[in-house]
Amino acid sequence: MQESPIFDFLNSLSPIKPVKSIHVTQTINPFTFASLPSVLTSPHVGSLSRSRFVRWRQLYDSSKFEFSCDDGSTVLINRTVENTSAKLGEHQENRDSRLFLGEIDGDPSYDISNIGAEFARCSDSKCSSPRCDIKVEQIEECSTNSSTLFPFTQKPFQRDLCEIEVNLEGLCQADQNKEAISCDWENLMFDDPDLLKLESSNYNLLHNKPAYAEAIFRERSEGENMATLPDEGIEVLEITEPHDIFTSSRNNCNEKKDGDLKEFSSSISNSELDPLNLIQQSCISILKISGSYHERRRCCLIFGTSESQIGHLEDNAGSDSSILQQSVGSTFLSDRHSVSTNMGNESSGCILREMSLHRHALAVNQNDYKIDKNETSDSRRLLLGSCSSISFNSSVADLEFQTNISEQESNTLENGVFPMEDDGRVYGYAAAEEINQCTPKRKRFRSESPRDGETCKRCNCKKSKCLKLYCECFAAGIYCMEPCACIDCFNKPVHIDTVLATRKQIETRNPLAFAPKVIKASDTRPESWEDLSKSPASARHKRGCNCKKSGCLKKYCECYQGGVGCSVNCRCERCKNTFGIKDGPCLTIMEADSEEDETNLMEKNVLDISLQKTDLRQNLGYAPSTSLQGIRQSVPHPYSTNKKTPTSSFPYNSSASSFYASQILRRPNFFQIPSRLDKRLQMVKEDDIPEFLQQGSSPIPCIKSVSPKRKRVLSPHSVGQSSPSFRSSRKLVLQSIPSFPCLTSNQ
DNA sequence: GAGTTTGAAACT
DNA sequence: CAGTTTCAAACTC
DSSP per residue over A512-565, as a string? TTTS-SEEEES-S-HHHHHHHH-S--SEEESS----SSSTT-STTSHHHHTT-B
Terminal Cα distance for chain A, rounded: 27
Beta carbons within 10 angstroms of residue A523's beta carbon:
30
Element (H, E) at A100: strand A98-100
Mean pLDDT of A445-457: 43
**A91-95, A232-236, A478-482: which is most confident:** A478-482
CA/C1' separation A581–B2 (Å): 34
SS (H, E, C) A487-503: CCCCCCHHHHHHHHHHH
**Which nucleotide has the shortest C1'-to-CA distance from A551?**
B6
CA/C1' separation A268–C8 (Å): 45
| Residue lying closest to nucleotide B8, CA to C1' | A470
Share of chain A above pLDDT 90, in %: 1
Q: A316-352 b/e with 16+ CB inside 10 Å = b?
A: eebeebbbbbbbbbbbbbbbbbbbbbbbbbeeebbbb
Q: In this predicted model, what pLDDT tens digit does every residue of A435-444 receive, in sequence order?
A: 333 333 334 4
Give the DSSP per-residue string, A282-306.
HHHHHH---S----EEEEEEEEEEE
Give residue A493's pLDDT band: very low, low, confident or very high (50, 70, 90): confident
> Is the model's pLDDT at A503 over the cut of 50?
yes
Longest dimension (CA), chain A: 89
pLDDT of residue A9: 59
- Residue A285 or A369, more confident: A285
Strand C nucleotides where any atom sits below 7 Å of a protein CB: 1-3, 6-12
SS (H, E, C) A128-185: CCCCCEEEEEEEEEEECCCCCCCCCCCCCEEEEEEEEEEECHHHHHCCCCHHHCCCCH
**A18-22, A251-255, A454-458, A511-515: which is most confident:** A511-515
Radius of gyration, CA atoms only, chain A: 27
Strands A539-541 and A518-521, by their bridges, are antiparallel
Q: In this predicted model, what pLDDT tens digit does every residue of A24-49 receive, in sequence order?
A: 322 223 332 222 222 232 333 332 22
**Which nucleotide has the shortest C1'-to-CA distance from A461?**
C8
Rounded to an integer, what distance in angstroms lies between the CA atom of residue A209 and that of residue A731?
52
Q: What is the mean pLDDT of chain A?
A: 41
Q: Which residues are A219's β-sheet partners? A: A297
Q: Which residues are A24's β-sheet partners? A: none
CA/C1' separation A640–B10 (Å): 30
Rounded to an integer, what distance in angstroms lies between the CA atom of residue A251 and that of residue A235?
29
Rounded to an integer, what distance in angstroms lies between the CA atom of residue A241 and that of residue A14?
35
CA/C1' separation A513–B6 (Å): 21
Give residue A541's pLDDT band: very low, low, confident or very high (50, 70, 90): confident
Mean pLDDT of A235-243: 26
> Is the model's pLDDT at A486 over the cut of 80?
yes
CA/C1' separation A471–C7 (Å): 9
CA/C1' separation A554–C12 (Å): 13
> Is the model's pLDDT at A513 over the cut of 80?
yes
Strand B nucleotides where any atom sits below 7 Å of a protein CB: 1-3, 5-10
Beta carbons within 10 angstroms of residue A610's beta carbon:
28
Taking all atoms of strand B, which protein residues have CB closer than 7 Å?
Answer: A 440, 443-444, 447-448, 468-470, 475, 506, 509-510, 513, 517, 543, 545-551, 554, 556-558, 711
pLDDT of residue A457: 67
Mean pLDDT of A259-287: 36
- Residue A156 or A461, more confident: A461
| Residue lying closest to nucleotide B2, CA to C1' | A444
Mean pLDDT of A291-302: 30
A541 closest CA partner among A507, A575, A499? A575
CA/C1' separation A557–C4 (Å): 21
Rounded to an integer, what distance in angstroms lies between the CA atom of residue A572 and that of residue A502?
30
CA/C1' separation A137–C1 (Å): 55
**Which nucleotide has the shortest C1'-to-CA distance from A546?**
B7
Q: Which of A127-131, A482-486, A567-571, A704-708 has the lowest mean pLDDT?
A: A127-131
Q: List, in order, residues 6 or more apart from A239 with CB less than 8 Å away.
A: A261, A262, A263, A264, A285, A286, A288, A289, A337, A357, A359
Give residue A6's pLDDT band: very low, low, confident or very high (50, 70, 90): low
Q: Which of A9-18, A424-433, A588-597 has the lowest mean pLDDT?
A: A424-433
CA/C1' separation A707–C1 (Å): 9
Give residue A713's pLDDT band: very low, low, confident or very high (50, 70, 90): very low
Taking all atoms of strand C, which protein residues have CB closer than 7 Å?
Answer: A 444, 446-447, 458-466, 468, 470-472, 554-556, 561, 644, 706-707, 709-710
CA/C1' separation A556–B2 (Å): 20
**A63-67, A145-149, A198-202, A572-576: which is most confident:** A572-576
pLDDT of residue A347: 29
Rounded to an integer, what distance in angstroms lies between the CA atom of residue A461 and that of residue A468?
10
**Which nucleotide has the shortest C1'-to-CA distance from A561?**
C10
pLDDT of residue A436: 37
pLDDT of residue A99: 25
pLDDT of residue A325: 27
pLDDT of residue A7: 52
Mean pLDDT of A218-230: 31
pLDDT of residue A352: 23
> Is the model's pLDDT at A497 over the cut of 70?
yes
> Is the model's pLDDT at A491 over the cut of 60?
yes
**Which nucleotide has the shortest C1'-to-CA distance from A487?**
C8
pLDDT of residue A481: 80
CA/C1' separation A134–B7 (Å): 49
pLDDT of residue A4: 54
> Is the model's pLDDT at A511 over the cut of 80?
yes
Rounded to an integer, what distance in angstroms lies between the CA atom of residue A101 and that of residue A230?
29
State the Cα angle at A685 between A682 and A691, rounded to 5°.
Answer: 125
Q: In this predicted model, what pLDDT tens digit does every residue of A580-626 receive, in sequence order?
A: 887 664 332 233 333 333 333 333 343 333 334 333 333 333 222 32
Mean pLDDT of A49-65: 31
pLDDT of residue A563: 85
- What sign has the CA pseudo-torsion A171, A175, A178, A182? negative
Mean pLDDT of A271-294: 38
**Which nucleotide has the shortest C1'-to-CA distance from A443?**
B1
A324 closest CA partner among A307, A339, A301, A336? A307
Q: In this predicted model, what pLDDT tens digit does every residue of A70-109 receive, in sequence order?
A: 333 333 333 322 232 222 233 332 222 222 222 233 333 3
Query: Do A488 and A435 form a contact (C-beta atoms < 8 A)?
Result: yes
pLDDT of residue A344: 31
Q: Determine if the peptide bond prior to A422 is cis (ω within 30°).
A: yes
Mean pLDDT of A189-201: 28
